A = this chain, B = another copy of it.
Amino acid sequence: VAGLASVNAEVRLVCRTAEQATALSAERIDRRYLPGVRLPDNVRLTHLGDSDALLGCALVALAIPSKARGPISEWLAPRLDAGAGVLSLTKGLDPNTGQRLGQAWMELLGPDHPLCVLTGPNHAEEVAAGQPTAAVVAGDPGLGERVQTLLNSSRFRVYWNDDLVGVELAAAAKNVVAVAAGMSDGLGLGDNAKASLITRGLAEMTRLGEACGGRAATFRGLAGMGDLVATCTSRHSRNRRAGELIAQGTPAAEVEERLGQVVEGLVTVRNLLGLAADHGVELPISTEVARAAFEGRPVDECVASLMMRVPAAEN
């Protein structure tokens, strides 16, 4: 939002409730998620109860958890201006159908609304603090160009990628690998072990992506390796942190409450394994994450079984 506001005349932020919008209008600081950042003056606060919330908006960015897609869909579709573009920022799969989120939005909104997804190594805490980063946009080429024009700055570089399938699957799958990396951290296994896990994680993400029609080059780039490395090594990553908590004994069902944030890696892992099974691809790391999180297998056993496995990346 701050990035958009710095290069555009007017930006609207649609909160869930009128109370949230009022509180944020007054203080202009989100004390819960980004306590150090003041919302620029040209950000206007509104909420889901405002039926004109999107009136006159040429571009609508969706920064919602994957679980909220259903309710937001019903709200969004009738409120979009004719021809308005949609930019999806969520990294995950639809929890109900297992579809890629971009794909799901496209089916819902139809060809009148061009759609793009934005991804890459973009921890919000750092972007908001003005630290430099690079992002990837994929989807509708015309909208992609507009998104680049709207968002590009010397501190936030947006690159175009025409592989929407690869970009979306990389974003969804890397959160699951980050949970595994957090488990390794939680067990105190060190940087060597975590680097091995990240390496095999990218191999497994790439296998799935290629089987689904994505390109290996996407996984070697910012949307794949870049985002994976940032998520697995940063203290800002809630998916990494979730794995750490699980390894230290917090039940998976309590992790989101404990963190106060949605953990897309845990929401996504079972649908990701379903997608992999449909395409005959094995995802050893994601399999162990699901076992540790939902089947009660001890985390140290899960991680040990990964460490003992011959890595497919070697010959």
Contact = CB atoms under 8 A, between A and B. Distances in A.
Interface stretch (A38-46, A127-135, A262-270): A127-135
A161 B133 CA distance: 35
A159 to B, nearest CB: 4
Q: Could you say which of A188, A222, A308 has the most chain B C-beta atoms within 10 Å of its C-beta?
A: A222
Contact of A229 (B126, B160, B198, B217): B198
Contact of A131 (B133, B160, B192): B192
Interface stretch (A83-91, A230-238, A286-294): A230-238
B154 A195 contact: no
Nearest to A229: B195
Question: How many copies of this chain are found per oligomer?
Answer: 2
Interface in A91-144: 121-123, 126-127, 129, 131-134, 136
A229 B310 contact: no
Interface in A194-231: 194-196, 198-199, 202-203, 217, 220-222, 225-227, 229-230
B222 A122 contact: no
A174 to B, nearest CB: 11
A193 interface: yes
Contacts of A222: 196, 199, 311, 313-314
A190 B314 contact: no
Nearest to A124: B192
Given A221-B313, A313-B221, A193 B131 contact: yes
A133 B311 CA distance: 12
Contacts of A314: 136, 159-161, 221-222
Contacts of A230: 191-192, 194-195
A225 B163 CA distance: 23
A49 to B, nearest CB: 35
A307 interface: yes
Contacts of A132: 189-190, 192-193, 307
A81 interface: no
B193 A227 contact: no
B192 A126 contact: yes
A256 B44 CA distance: 53
A173 B136 CA distance: 26
A213 B147 CA distance: 40
A162 B307 CA distance: 21
19 contacts: A121-B191, A123-B191, A126-B190, A131-B189, A131-B192, A132-B193, A154-B308, A161-B315, A163-B315, A195-B226, A198-B229, A199-B222, A199-B225, A220-B220, A221-B311, A221-B313, A222-B313, A225-B225, A233-B233
Given A133-B192, A199-B226, A220-B313, 7 more contacts: A122-B192, A126-B192, A127-B192, A191-B233, A191-B236, A199-B225, A202-B220
Interface of A: 121-123, 126-127, 129, 131-134, 136, 154, 157, 159-163, 188-196, 198-199, 202-203, 217, 220-222, 225-227, 229-230, 233-236, 307-308, 310-311, 313-315
